[in-house]
Every structure is written in structure tokens, then in C-alpha cells.
Amino acid sequence: MSYEQQRRDLVSHLEQRESLSDETLDAMRAVPRHAFVPQQHRSKAYRDSPLPIGDGQTISAPHMVAIMTELLELSYGDTVLEIGTGCGYHAAVTAEIVGPENVYSIEYHDSLARRARETLTAVGYGDISIRTGDGKKGWPEGAPFTAIYLTCAAPEFPPALKDQLAVGGRLLGPVGKGQQVLVRAVKQPDGHFDEEEHGYVRFVPLQ
């Protein structure tokens, strides 16, 4: 079965399993996940499960990428900061909705950042901005962001990320040291954050 057919089947599975918008489903349908998966795991690229990508990191399960995309409520032109580029797949899904030039991504591991940049360029998302660094510090020059999400678990949302979020913006990520919960926080005009919990999850820790 071709990668394209496997991807269509995966998205059909997600459509039945989750409550997802057409924008999220179209983005998941458009991005070739197999291109971001190491060669030795490529035959499993369209299974709905995480896979290792090197440096102790993983590519998230497709359903989790879809759920996070949905919770961010993105629109074209929104500026988005991703903490934890990994292989670049999640950034590409985000870019399908907001436009590649509006996506900023920080990766702790230089080897992963370089590989992600090469892959993203090869599959048409070369305008995504990627830098190697400490995700807890965010990307001040790009602020304020409409949305910020973490693909790694933090004990709490880093203060710099809260500061760099626009009023009305969404901050999303796994929070917790042992047991992790997917938390969405919306920034209010007075600087307060309204938080919602969206279930237990398991992510690699923020470096």
C-alpha cells in the first residue's frame, strides 16, 4: 500500500476517533509523516503511535498532533511558537494552517534541528524558522505569538512563554513531572491565564 493511501487511512481513523475540524484533518492529510521518520521506522510511519527519532526523542502519535492542533484553534496568518522541533513533523502540520513563514520552532538538540530543517525544506516547508536553544526562554524577537505549544513536558509553563503570548493567545502543552496533563491556558487582558485540562498524556521532558 502506498504512503499516500496509508495516510488517507490514518486520517479516516482520526476522523472517526476524534472531534476534529476540516482544517486539522486537511493538515494531517497534507503532511507526509513518513518523510520525517527515520528510515528504519518508516514502514510504521502511519501507525497511530509515537516513534523514536534519535537523541532520546520521539515523533508524537498522529492523534496527539491532531488533538493539539485542534485545541490551538489556529487560523491562517497566526504566529505560532513551537517548543521542541524534534523531527519537524508537528511544525509542518501547524504550517499547513497558519503558513510556514508564521511558524517559529526551538530545538534543544542541534543534530535534530539540522535534520528537521533539511526535511522541512525538502518537503516544502522551508520558510519555517528553526533555532537551536533553550525553549524555556522562548523567541523574544518573534513575540507576541498567537499560540505557543510544547511538544515536551514541563513542570509548569515557563514564565518567558507566558510573557511572549499575545492577549487572547493559547498556550498548550503537557504539564507535570510524574503524571502529565495536557493543559491549555488562554491569556486574559489582565495577564491572568484561564486553564483547562485535556486528559493525561506522556511526553519526553523539556530539556
Angle at 121 between CA 55 and CA 107, to 5 degrees: 35
> 54: phi > 0 → left, psi -120 to 50 → alpha, else beta; which?
left
Grid cell at residue 207 = 530539556
- 18-60, pLDDT tens digit by residue? 999 999 999 999 999 999 999 999 999 999 999 999 888 899 9
- Residue 177 pLDDT more than 90? no
Rounded to whole angstroms, the Cα distance separating 50 from 115 reads 18
CA distances from 206 to 67, 105, 156, 169 (A): 20, 14, 10, 21
CA-CA-CA-CA torsion sign (59, 112, 152, 20)? negative
pTM: 0.96
The residue that leads in pLDDT, 205 or 36, is 36
Contact in structure between 157 and 170 (CB atoms under 8 Å)? no
- Residue 204 pLDDT more than 90? no
Just list the catalytic residues: 60
What topology does CATH give the domain 3-201?
Rossmann fold (3.40.50)
Per cent of the chain over pLDDT 70 is 100
| Average pLDDT of the residues of the chain | 96
How much is the pLDDT for 35? Answer: 97
In three-state form (DSSP H/G/I as H, E/B as E, the rest C), the secondary structure along the chain is CCHHHHHHHHHHHHHHHCCCCHHHHHHHHHCCHHHHCCHHHHHHCCCCCCEEEECCEEECCHHHHHHHHHHHCCCCCCCEEEECCCCCHHHHHHHHHHCHHHEEEEECCHHHHHHHHHHHHHCCCCCCEEEECCHHHCCHHHCCEEEEEECCEECCCCHHHHHCEEEEEEEEEEECCCCEEEEEEEECCCCCEEEEEEEEECCCECC
Rounded to whole angstroms, the Cα distance separating 205 from 49 reads 18
CA distances from 159 to 7, 81, 144 (A): 38, 14, 14
